Structures are given as C-alpha cells and as structure tokens.
Amino acid sequence: MNDADKKRLLREMILYRRFEDRSFEAYMERKIGGFLHLYSGQEAVATGVLEMAVVGQGRKNDYVITGYRDHIHAIKTGTDPKAVMAELYGKETGCSKGRGGSMHIFDASQNFMGGYALVGQPFPLAAGLAMGAKHQKTNQIAICFLGDGANNQGTFHETMNMASIWNLPVLFVCENNQYAIGTRIDRSTAVTDQYRRVEAYNMKSSQHDGMDIDIVMAAAKDAIDYVRKESKPYFIEFMTYRFRGHSMSDAKGYRTREEEAEWEKRDPIKIYSRRLVEEGIITPEDIKAMEKEVDDYIENEVIKFAEESPEPKVEELTRYVLDDNPDPRWIGPLQQ
Amino acid sequence: MAETAYWEAIRRAHDEEMANDELVIAMGEDIGVAGGTYKATLGLYDKYGEERVIDTPISENSYTGIGIGASMTGMRPIIEIMSINFALLALDTLINAAAKIRYMSGGQIACPIVMRTPGGTAHQLAAQHSARLARMFMSTSGLRVVTPRGPLDAYGMLKSAVRCNDPVIIIEHEQMYNLKEDIPDEEFFRPLEGAEVVREGSDITLIGYNFSVHLCLQAAKRLEGDGISAEVIDLRALKPIDRETIRRSVEKTHHAVVAEEDEAPVGVGAEIITGIIEDCFFALDSQPVRVHAADVPVPYNATLEKAAIPDANDVYQGALKALGKI
Ligand SMILES: Cc1ncc(C[n+]2csc(CCOP(=O)(O)OP(=O)(O)O)c2C)c(N)n1
Ligand SMILES: [Mg+2]
C-alpha cells in the first residue's frame, strides 16, 4: 500500500465519522426520522475489511450485506454518499428511493444488498448470496457484517452449519462492540469470544483488534483470500466499540464513562492519523486541511443534494411492491 | 393428454423448469436423495445433482433465507417446506425479507423465490400438522399466494411461479397429491392471477380455493338434485384476489357461500365477503354465508376432527341456509 492509498484511507475514515456526525445533526433538526444508528468508533472494521474486497467496481463487486448500522458499509462498497444521505432524508434520489431509510440502504448497482432491521436476518441472506455467486461461477464472495448480539439468533447457528456443509464462499464479519443496545455481552452470551462459537460448525475463524485498520486489513486479506480460493466460509471477529449510543435515544446508562474514555483513546482515526504522521506521510496540518475539505464536501455537496432533492411522489406509493411490469404469460388474468 | 397425478404434475414442472434454466434450483428437507415427502422432486437429484437439488438441514428460517439471498443474485429457487406448520419457522425471512426487499430497495432487487408447501388437514395428523394459514400469507403485501386445486394448475402455476419475478407461495394440500386429471403433453403455463368459474350455475355462487373447491363441487352436485343450480368459483389466487369474477357471478346468482378449511376469524371468507359487500351489496338477496372450521386447534380424535373441519355436507347446508331453505 503506497502513501497515497494510506492518505486516502485516512480521508475515508474521517469522511465516515463526519458523515455520521452530520447525520446526527440532521436528525436533531428533524430532517431525518425513524431510527438512526451511527457507526462512529467502528470505522476501521468496515473500511479495513472492504479495502481488501472487490468494491467500487459496480456489478463486479463482492456482495456486501449488513444490519441497520449500514450507511458506512454502503459508502465503502461504492455507493455515493449523496445517495445515502438523500435516503436518510427520505428523498426520491436516495439509494432506496426514499422507501427504505437509514436501516434499509440498498444499492444493487454496487452489489450492496441491503441493510436489515431484523437482527440476525442477514446471516442466511448472505449465505444465499454466496450460493448464487458460487452457482454462477463468478468468483465473487459475500461479506456479511453483523454485531455481537446477532450471534444469539437462531439464524446464526442454522446458517453457520449450512455455510459450512455446503462450502459457501461467505465471510462473516462480527463487529464485537460488546453491547447489544444496553446489554453487555457477558450478560447475554455464554461464550463471549465470538470466534469460538463457530468451531462447533467446523468453520475457520479468528479474533483481532478492530480499532487498528492495519491489523484489520492484514487479517481481512487472509480471510478473504481463504474464502475466495477455497470457496469456504470464514468467521472473523473484530473487537471494537461504538462511541455513540445504540441509536438516537440512548443515555448510555449501561456503561461507565471510564470505559468509554479507555476506548476513545483507541479511536481508529486517531491511531491511524498518529501512525501516518510518525511515518512522515502526512503532517498534522495536512490532516486539519483534510478535515476541512471533508466538511466542505459534506456540507456543500452531500447535505445540499439531500436538502434539494425531491420527495417521492404520493402517486407512486404502490410502485415496487411486486414486479411493476409483469409478463402476462405468468401473471394473467386467466382467459376463460 | 395424459392422466397425471397432482404430485407428478409438480414433479414435471420442476423437471422442465430445471432443464430450461440453470438458475432454477430446488431446496428442502428430504427432497434430494429421498425424492421428496410428496415425491415432487423424485429422480431429480440423480438428474441435476446435489448442487441443484439440495437436501437441507431442518432449519426452515435459514434455508428459506439462503434461497432468498440466492434469488437476489438471479437464481430461481423452489423451496419446499414439508408442511405449512413449519413455514411458521420461516416467517421472518419470508415476510420480513422476501416480501419487502423489492419495496425497501426502491425496486432495485427482486426475490423470485417459490415456496411450495401443503397447507391443509389430512387424516388425524393432530394440531401441529394440520395448520392451513393461507390467511396469514394473503394478508402480506409483496407476496403472491396461489392454491392449485388440481394437477393442471399444480403444473401450470408452478411453472409460472418459477418464471415470475415476485416471491410466490404455492399452497398445496396433503389430500390432493394423488388427485388425477388429464393434462396436455405439450408445455403450458397457467397464470398466477384470476379466479375460475369451474361450474356454471344460476341460483347461488359457491366460492372455494385449494381443497375446498372440491367440497363446493360435491355440494353443487347435491344441490342439483334439489333443483338448485350452483355456480362454483375456484379463487386460484388468494393474493391478489380476483374480485371481478366473484362480482359477476354474485350479480347473476344473488347468493354467496364461501367455503374455507381454515378457522373463520380474519380469514378468507371474511375477506371475500367484505369484497362482495363493497362491490355488489345490492345484488345480494340474502346474507352471505361462511363455511369454515371450528375455532379450535385441530383435534387428533377422528370424530372430533371430522366435527372441526368442514366437509361437502357443510357447504351444502351453508347453501341451503343462504337460500333461506333451512
Ligand atoms: C429480531 C430482532 N430482535 C430485536 C431487535 C431490536 N434490536 C435492534 S438492535 C439490537 C441489538 C443488536 O446488537 P448487536 O448485534 O451487537 O449490534 P450493534 O447494535 O451493537 O451493532 C436489538 C436487540 C431487532 N431489531 N430484531
Ligand atoms: Mg453489539
């Protein structure tokens, strides 16, 4: 990875943090409604893993799927941040045409196969994406990002078993931020090291620091190579922390300020910035300028686009429920 | 034309669709090596291999979800659920995912899966193997629900379901798998929408779907002996419902009976009669009648079971009631 790439990665993580911060503000201004789950603190995971995957190349991309904390995964996969922000605003220009919202970011043009609100539901969908890719011999893999809490769903066990017996090329990325809303992992989960849980399904797995993007990238590269070359599933766990509440209404009464402060010292953006400065790749002043450039971009392009975009038309309320142009041979009506 | 059993018709549709398109796969418990609980995939494992006729573990929600995920990449999975009771385990991926992905994605991603499952009572299978549940699927936007009453539709609707771009639930019936009918030798398709007038009549309309169409036909025969001419409609599709065909018939006969094998509350009959009231209330000469199961879990005991589930006599009595004859 050359210096330019390293700078690009730093800029991406800064963009992701600022994107979420700005979404928070827009939510407070009531421009965004519903549930909003922010990714701040966990940036190194999606950025590092997807840096090692095929992304940003349209329909050639690997398939990516995740839960409701999905904005950043979509952007890193190749979705335009403007289309994501417009979706949060519920606009027709949003990547899901305003029909999905924050928890349901979709972008088929980049093989970003969605954000889902039902905890654990993406596990089988991801295995199915992998099955489709394997069947069609496309050499793509599926990458499924989910939280630690999701592993207590039945779909986790059912899917790990099937992915393993059928040798499906799927990478399960567990973003272990140690909480499921307000429940700390050791209060809900008998085995807190998540990577150990798939050993029962004869699946390869490992656990890594999720705050240091270099560690994430190295681990993800090995895992992705394995999944693609062997056509087998792999479960990779990253230890991380979400800096904000679970969603917007969360007083975080379930964790201590000391614990938060400890993790904030390990802010993935700070770790990486410091490293690049130490390596002489970038100066603190450059970083300041970078932050300014990102803020301007978000304000003048991303937010502007979302603000100025049109709402969906009420006359189009019932579009997209079923195929809007069905073939009369299969659909009817019945000729009597 | 060849006389074909219901299960053979389904098997033939699988075979032709799998031969026609590499992207068609079948999934389910015991459908591969064992050939399927209802023989719907008999011999296809040998013909198409284990990657296309997939024996799944007993993990309904997740193998349905895997089928859905595969369909999002362009595959066309036909998923067999051994009994509609077990489909309850798959409701999350079916209703929360398959039925909603097209909409949530603003029309970008289709989920062209087919889920086939028998939904009805057989003989003394007791409460946990006798669910019908059509009403649950027919009330979910984003799904298509069809109920083939015989081999013709079982074949032709499965073929259409595989080709159509929406998730389709096909509700079959344990008591119909051996039902025989002549069906054409050459390939054909039957649409996934549209009710069918399966018997013409002028005095009363009997409306059924799935197995209850046969109860309506038997009742119509008996009514004929009483000098009453009954029209019988097979709904064929429960989502969407063809209200036009029902309206036309009721405007002609002025009396309506709906026969459903399920319990009445929030059910097929409730929906159909609401439609009649909305569409042609003033054509009615009497209150419409619902013939339905008793509001109990299906009992094991044969006598109790018979008392709980409607039969042709119940439909006959329902018709007499609607006509003011009892
Ligand atoms: C099936 C289901 N049950 C409950 C919820 C409510 N819920 C939303 S997020 C969440 C916690 C999930 O925690 P985790 O998987 O660790 O993800 P994180 O939010 O930490 O990223 C819960 C319980 C849900 N959305 N879906
Ligand atoms: Mg968590």
DSSP string, A38-86: --TT-HHHHHHHHHTS--SSGGGSPEEEE-S--HHHHHHHT--HHHHHH
B114 — phi, psi (to 5°)? -120, 130
Strand, coil or helix: what is B290?
strand
Cβ-Cβ contacts under 8 Å, B51 against chain A: 135
Burial of A290 per CB tally in 10 Å (0-12, 13-18, 19+): middle
Residue A147 confidence class, pLDDT cut points 50, 70, 90: very high
Closest CA to B226 of B317, B119, B96, B138: B317
**Is residue B168 within 8 Å of residue B198, measured between CB atoms?**
no
Q: Is the peptide bond before A124 cis (omega within 30 degrees of 0)?
A: no
Domains observed in chain B: 2-183 (3.40.50.970), 196-322 (3.40.50.920)
Domain boundaries, chain A: 3-328
Closest CA to A260 of A247, A244, A237, A238: A244
Strand, coil or helix: what is B29?
coil
**DSSP 8-state secondary structure symbol assigned to residue A285:** H
**What is the number of residues in chain B?**
326
The mean pLDDT value of chain A amounts to 97
Atom of ligand 1 nearest to the CA of A185: 16
Q: Which residues of B231-268 are buried (b: 16+ CB within 10 A; e: fewer)?
A: bbbbbbbbbbbbbebbbbbbeebbbbbbbbbbbbeebb
Cross-sheet strand order for the sheet of B204-208: B196-199, B230-234, B204-208, B256-263, B289-293
Atom of ligand 1 nearest to the CA of A151: 15
Burial of B301 per CB tally in 10 Å (0-12, 13-18, 19+): exposed
What does DSSP say about strands A63-66 and A142-147: parallel, antiparallel, or unpaired?
parallel
Residue A146 confidence class, pLDDT cut points 50, 70, 90: very high
The two structure tokens encoding residue B324: 């003011």
pLDDT in tens, chain B (326 residues): 999 999 999 999 999 999 999 999 999 999 999 999 999 999 999 999 999 999 999 999 999 999 999 999 999 999 999 999 999 999 999 999 999 999 999 999 999 999 999 999 999 999 999 999 999 999 999 999 999 999 999 999 999 999 999 999 999 999 999 999 999 999 999 999 999 999 999 999 999 999 999 999 999 999 999 999 999 999 999 999 999 999 999 999 999 999 999 999 999 999 999 999 999 999 999 999 999 999 999 999 999 999 999 999 999 999 999 999 99
Amino acid at A154: G
**Is residue B121 within 8 Å of residue B298, measured between CB atoms?**
yes
Minimal Cα distance from A103: which residue of B?
Answer: B104
Please give, rounded to a whole number of angstroms, the shortest distance from the CA of B324 to a CA of chain A.
32
CA-to-CA distance for B205 and B220, rounded, in angstroms? 9
Residue A127 confidence class, pLDDT cut points 50, 70, 90: very high
Beta bridge partners of B2: B183
Q: Which of residues 263-322 of A touch B (CB under 8 A)?
A: 319-322
Cβ-Cβ contacts under 8 Å, A65 against chain B: 69
Considering only CB atoms, A121 lies closest to which of B74, B96, B107, namely B96
Where residue A199 falls (left for φ over 0; alpha for ψ -120 to 50; beta otherwise) is: alpha
Q: Which residues of A250-261 are buried (b: 16+ CB within 10 A; e: fewer)?
A: eeeeeeeeeeee
Closest CA to B222 of B208, B249, B236, B201: B201
Q: Is the pLDDT of residue A101 over 80?
A: yes
CA-to-CA distance for A43 and A69, rounded, in angstroms? 11
Cβ-Cβ contacts under 8 Å, A154 against chain B: 61-62
Q: Which residue among B8, B17, B29, B60 is the active-site one?
A: B60
Q: Which of residues 12-71 of A touch B (CB under 8 A)?
A: 63, 65
Return the H-helix or E-strand segment holding B233: strand B230-234
ipTM here: 0.94
The two structure tokens encoding residue B271: 């929906």
Instruction: List strand residue ranges (DSSP E) for A95-212, in order.
Output: 112-115, 142-147, 170-176, 179-180, 183-184, 204-209
A289 — phi, psi (to 5°)? -65, -40
Burial of B289 per CB tally in 10 Å (0-12, 13-18, 19+): buried
Closest CA to A210 of A272, A273, A150: A272
Beta bridge partners of A234: A171, A204
In CATH, what number does A3-328 get? 3.40.50.970
CA-to-CA distance for B42 and B31, rounded, in angstroms? 8
Q: Is the pLDDT of residue A333 over 90?
A: no
Strand, coil or helix: what is B228?
coil
Q: Is the pLDDT of residue A336 over 80?
A: no
